[in-house]
Structure 1
Amino acid sequence: MVIETLPARLDPEEAKRVRQERLERIGSWLLPLLIMLFAIWLWDRICVWNEIPRYILPRPHVVAQTLYTDAALLFGSLLVTLKITFLSLLLAVIGGVGLAVLFTQSKWVEMSFFPFAIVLQVTPIVAIFPLINIYVDNQTAKLLLCSWIVAFFPILSNTTLGLNSVDRNLRDLFRLNGATRWQKLRHLRLPAAMPYFLGGLKIAGGLSLIGAVVAEFVAGSSGQSSGLASRIIEAGYRLNAPRLFAALILISLTGILIFLVLSLVSHLLLRRWHESALKQER
């Protein structure tokens, strides 16, 4: 007996949905790429049409050439900036999460110390740095402290919010079953706070880079062991616009890379259980 198999066909609505998803996947990377290429082309044309000298606005290929010829100097400075960035982010994670746990364990601790965290957040780092410059002798410690102050608050506030956002029914269930404070923290509060913490981490990652660069600007550090901000200041004094633009591009690309890496970490940690990372059904 011959069994005829009919080709599986999608209904019009399903086919439209599949096409829409395919277009969105392609457009998510194609459109930004096209706009970026157009912006680079327009930048180049503006320089040519207006005959702008390279010490004011260099053409894109001049910046790319400078990025290649000065790679040793620029990437060496990038490593210095990255060291400050990641160390400050690590300290912000340790301090922010640790203090957030203390806040959730004792309302008295939260009421006592949270206002000081807000003061650090709302006070401009350029206003705090003169005090840091007086009391801290080590140049690296100065930069690290400035960057940490900028990155600390998002992790503290987001993690505290997450730890306090546990479902009341689940809290009552743990209490009825005689769970200890440590068990409630480990099995209930910390998993509930994970999406909030990761959201704060993505914010703090970019802020730690910004803090490191701003701290270098304020500190005015110079020399072979200085970061990218010092290269920008030096290039500005010497009217070396190609190097200045090359350093700016390195900072921007580094910030984008940090955000993408932290977004990937967040997705990998949440993809199996949290609504924000699960694939949405349409």
Structure 2
Amino acid sequence: MSAFASHDSATKQSAGVAITAEDIAETGGKAPEAVAQYALRLGDDALMLSQRLGWWISRAPELEEDIALGNIALDLIGHARFLLTYAGSAWGRTEDELAYFRNEEEFRSVRLVEQENGDFGQTIARQMLFSFYQYELYSALQSSTDQTLAAIADKALKEVEYHQDHAAQWILRLGLGTEESKRRIQDGLYYMWPYLDELFADEPLHDELEGIAVRPSTLRERTMERVTELLAQAELEVPTVAQARISAAPRDGAYSEYRGYILAEMQWLARQHPGATW
């Protein structure tokens, strides 16, 4: 049984239970190179989105939303810690080294999670699209033949179930609310929609990881079916906009203009005081 199986939450941080490289070593040892690259992609997605959501603490429209979005951000940081620790085991690098001491071109996150928060409607539109995708991803990844990835997916899925429910409730509330709330959530959907294709883009890496990784293209049908159903319930239209161009090698160096700003805020303290502990 995985060492993670006894933990209540992917983000539970208490004495003796914190996620460490030693935990990963006990469950899966050193990740093969291709597996590490795959884990890095998923970890970077979670890390970038957690940074975006953390901005809303003290700025959300309701006090309860300050707490809710903060908790979702913490969940995503927990997922990132698992995945970056596992990825780093292949290269002798810690989760902190991967998070704080890579440059922007070395990250492998999709552009959707890097997009501006905008107003609350725009943030909820992004959160709904990504959490619906992530739910299908982790559901499938539970069957991975890599025991560590399967264990991470199993723990993360329990939290993503809440993430998507939270986003769906806000989609309904805004879509069926006032004329202004409907306009804002619809505008948010139009803003985020061009970055959907990248979520479902296969890479040569997936060919190397048959049975280990989840091929993103296999998630499109179910994800979009559920998204479309929710939008119909909220009386919102499915955006009809062109998709942003995807490079020949998705996630391999192509990134949004916003990534550098996210990293500048996230990394400056660690780089100012490298190796500091507290």
- TM-score tier, shorter chain, comes to under 0.3
Q: TM-score, normalised to structure 2's length?
A: 0.27
Greater share of residues in helix: 1
- Taking structure 1 as the reference length, the TM-score comes to 0.27
Larger Rg: 1
